[in-house]
Amino acid sequence: MTQQTQKKITLKPLGNRVLAQRSEQEEVLKGGIILPDSAKKKQESATVIAVGPGKRKDDGSHDVMDIKVDDQILIDKYAGQEVTVDGVEYIILKSDDIIAIIE
């Protein structure tokens, strides 16, 4: 866990939403050329920082979330809503936008 994730997070996701932090991955080609993020067309990975209680059912209970804090997840490049809190960038996305959990 990084120092940034150890401090208290001031965002608490609601419903079936997840708060995550994108993993920085710089890609360098054989010739030493750095490929910018805008040129990449693949999914991205992120670390889950906080998880909402799950979608509320008609009886008032919540669906169980399959995702937990510190999970490494695979998400689409443009999924979710990016937010910045205390200079740290996060992404808030619905659990349905998560492609997979990386184990």
Query: pLDDT value at position 35?
Result: 60
User: Per-residue pLDDT tens for 8-62?
Assistant: 667 899 999 999 998 876 555 556 666 665 555 556 899 999 999 998 888 988 8
All domains of the chain in start order, with CATH: 3-102 (2.30.33.40)
Longest dimension (CA), the chain: 59
Q: Is the pLDDT of residue 6 over 70?
A: no
CB 74 within 8 A of CB 103: no
User: Per-residue pLDDT tens for 61-96?
Assistant: 888 888 999 999 999 888 899 999 888 899 999 999
Banded model confidence at residue 1, pLDDT cuts 50, 70, 90: very low
CB 76 within 8 A of CB 100: no
